[in-house]
A and B are shown apart, each in its own frame.
Chain A
Amino acid sequence: MERIPILKMGPYLLVTIQVDMHDRLAMALQDDLMEQIRRHKAEGVLIDISALDLVDSFIGRMLGNIAAMARILDADTVVTGMRPAVAITLVELGLSLTGVRTALNVERGMELLESAREERETGHGRRQG
């Protein structure tokens, strides 16, 4: 079965979704990601969806779920590179992913993870989602 690769970069995990997501693939990604967070003690997860031009409600909810699960495992999640059409669709579907951090591109997403990490280390506590 095909799987979406999860790359480890320092204390962060990097996921770039480059194929059309179907439900089974999404569930597999969710499982793998949680496993990897635990194994590597990751502090942040970056999911880049700039190649996705179709996101349905299931994938939308899954992104929200991943963020919530990762938070329980003490890792921040940033979703990057969402296309305008996808953003509009998700809003129309009523999924505004309130618990998920977002950034325009991977670079900004990494900055966001870095600053979240600094915050955590200086003991300011984490932003409430």
Chain B
Amino acid sequence: MTEAAKSTLPSLISRHEKEILDDWVKLQVSSDSYRSDLVSERDVRNESQRFLEATRTAMAVGVDIRAAEWTPVKELLTELSQSRARQGFSPTETATFVLSLKQPLFARIRTDLVKDPAALADATWAATTLLDKLGLLTMEVYQKGRESVIQRQQEELLELSTPVVRLWDNVVAVPLIGTLDSARTQVVMESLLQEIVNLGASIAIIDITGVPTVDTLVAQHLLKAVAAARLMGADCIISGIRPQIAQTIVHLGVDLGDVVTKATLADAFALALKRNGLTVSKLAPASGGA
């Protein structure tokens, strides 16, 4: 980029700042990707103005966005991108913010430099590379923001999805929901074993009704949990095995060994009561009752 173009852009922006801003905001608000439900026109205007001012200041020094002068611009974009990622904007909607600046900026460059084609080309090129870089930065930050949201949700899910419930004296159950991976198995195993100790349980029911698929790895994880519970002196019953899962297990050739399996949690609970020497019986109908 030539020295001439370097000085052209900032002066051009400062001369037409008001018009560029007006056009830009209008463009953003009228575009398909504008989310009137999430952000008001006044906010858009505010953000745009701050961005334009920061960019103009930084541009006076150079267009290399790695320079220290660009830090405020980058911070502004980072903040904007992160907040939009959290609000649920799509990637396109987020990137449109920076990229839609091109049209009003190019229009001004054209009217100002119409008599000098070389300078016009230079200035357009400088502006477009700059805005593309900033656009990419926005996307990068957006992606990171989304990833951190996903990671946080995963952690929350891990905490939420492993309750150990006491069904009766000596009987505990873990209703497993969602896919089992090594990390979750570890958490399930630890909380199950701890509850076995706390409640002095002798029978633990692992209910897999909520586990969508059982492959060899999941089966191995389950068997590990069963083996660990057995070492503690508690018998395990696996319940909630759906017909398709039973088929899958056999097709995969998974050997569940001598682990007791039941179709439903109710069956497993009945077995647990029986092993504890308890029976469930119906009350005798009250005399004269309906």
- A binding-site residues for B, Cβ under 8 Å: 79-80, 82-84, 86-88, 90-92, 96-97, 102-105, 108-109
Contacts and interface: CB of A to CB of B under 8 A. Distances in A.
B232 A102 contact: yes
20 contacts: A82-B231, A82-B233, A83-B197, A84-B190, A84-B196, A84-B228, A84-B232, A87-B228, A88-B189, A90-B228, A91-B228, A92-B224, A96-B227, A102-B231, A103-B233, A104-B196, A104-B202, A104-B232, A105-B200, A109-B233
The B interface is mostly helix, strand or loop, or mixed, namely helix
Nearest to B192: A84
Given A83-B197, A84-B193, A102-B230, 18 more contacts: A80-B233, A82-B231, A84-B196, A84-B197, A86-B231, A87-B228, A87-B229, A88-B190, A90-B231, A92-B224, A96-B230, A96-B231, A103-B233, A104-B202, A104-B232, A104-B234, A108-B202, A109-B233
Contacts of B234: 104
A104 B233 contact: yes
Interface of B: 186, 189-190, 193-194, 196-197, 200-202, 224, 227-234
B190 to A, nearest CB: 6
Contacts of A103: 233
Nearest to A55: B231
Contacts, number: 54
A88 B193 contact: yes
A52 to B, nearest CB: 12
A105 B200 CA distance: 8
A89 to B, nearest CB: 9
B111 to A, nearest CB: 72
Contact of A87 (B186, B201, B202, B231): B231
